[in-house]
Amino acid sequence: MKMNQPSIRLYYLIFFFIFFSKDYVHGQLENSEREFWTSVKYQEKLFEKFSITIEGQLRLNSFNKDFNKSHYNQSFFELESKTKLSKIFEFGLAYRSINKYNESGNNNGIPYKRIHSFLKSELDLNRLSISSRIQYQTKFRGKLDFSNQIKKYWRKKFEFSYNFKNWKLDPKLGCEFFMKKKFLMPKYYKKYRIFFGTRFSGKEFGKIDVKYLLEKGVKSASSAPVHVLKIGYIIN
């Protein structure tokens, strides 16, 4: 049976409200960690095929049932450049400066740096958009010195979005895999993320992203899942 767009939107809203219902969320969050991420992002197209993005993000962490004993997990500033290679492919470089906080919400005094590069492809099929992204990142303790590398990851991300006609809250869903040492080798998988969300665009005030993420370690059976609610504001 072929479904029209109003029917698809209705199923989308029903799924959204069931997922975030009180009983479902309470069951899913037992014995897990919760985080709340909020960000502000500014994007500027400098040339026809070259753009930059500046982002600031703050992350709040909680280990109990409520956020009354929460603390700041980390904050960071990131500068990213993107170059359009073709109609489908895009290449990017980024630098991130990270502040870590302890359980009292105080800065631990040790800064971290991260650099990454990525190659992204995106295919538009009428109203359906499919994208994939391969990223390599290196994290440093203290200053940006390759002798102080503490983490290196390959990341593979898939995302699907659908543009409903006359509908402001188009859905996005996808998954991302984190791999150590070697790309696409199952034994080196460290963790994965599953996410879904939406974006609201306004002509006057920019864009607002709302996203839920579930993060889970692969190798350690005792690692608690991490549930994340992310809200971001994008300035055009």
Q: Which pLDDT value is given to residue 232? A: 94
User: Highest mean pLDDT: which of 11-20, 24-33, 57-66, 164-173?
Assistant: 164-173
**pLDDT tens-place string over residues 185-196:** 666 778 899 999
- For residue 129, the cross-strand partners are 124, 161
- Report which of 233, 232, 214, 230 is spatially closest to residue 73, judged by C-alpha positions: 230
Q: Which pLDDT value is given to residue 65? A: 47
Q: Which pLDDT value is given to residue 61? A: 80
The total number of structural domains that make up the chain: 1
Rounded-to-integer distance, Cα 228 and Cα 33, Å: 9
Q: Is the pTM of this model over 0.85?
A: no
Rounded-to-integer distance, Cα 192 and Cα 42, Å: 27
Q: Which pLDDT value is given to residue 30? A: 58
The one-letter amino acid at 71: H
CATH number (domain holding residue 163): 2.40.160
**Domain hosting residue 165, numbered range:** 5-235
Q: What's the pLDDT band for 146 if we cut at 50, 70, 90? A: confident
> CA dist 179 to 40, 151, 162, 186, 191, Å?
28, 11, 28, 8, 7
Residue 122 has pLDDT above 80, yes or no: yes
Task: Name the phi and psi angles at 16, rounded to 5.
Answer: -60, -45
DSSP states along the chain: -PPPHHHHHHHHHHHHHHHTSHHHHHHHHTT-EEEEEEEEEEEEEEETTEEEEEEEEEEEEE-SSSGGG-EEEEEEEEEEEEEE-SSSEEEEEEEEEEEEE-TTS-EEEEEEEEEEEEEEEEEEETTEEEEEEEEEEEEEESSS-GGGEEEEEEEEEEEEEE--TT-S-EEEEEEEEEESSSTT-GGGEEEEEEEEEEEEEETTTEEEEEEEEEEEESS-TTPPPEEEEEEEEEE-
Q: Mean pLDDT, to the nearest integer, of 133-157?
A: 87
**pLDDT tens-place string over residues 40-97:** 999 999 998 999 999 999 988 865 445 445 567 789 999 999 999 999 999 999 999 9
Q: What's the pLDDT band for 1 if we cut at 50, 70, 90? A: very low
- Name which residue leads in pLDDT, 77 or 30: 77
The pLDDT > 90 percentage for the chain reads 43
**pLDDT tens-place string over residues 199-222:** 887 777 788 999 999 998 887 655
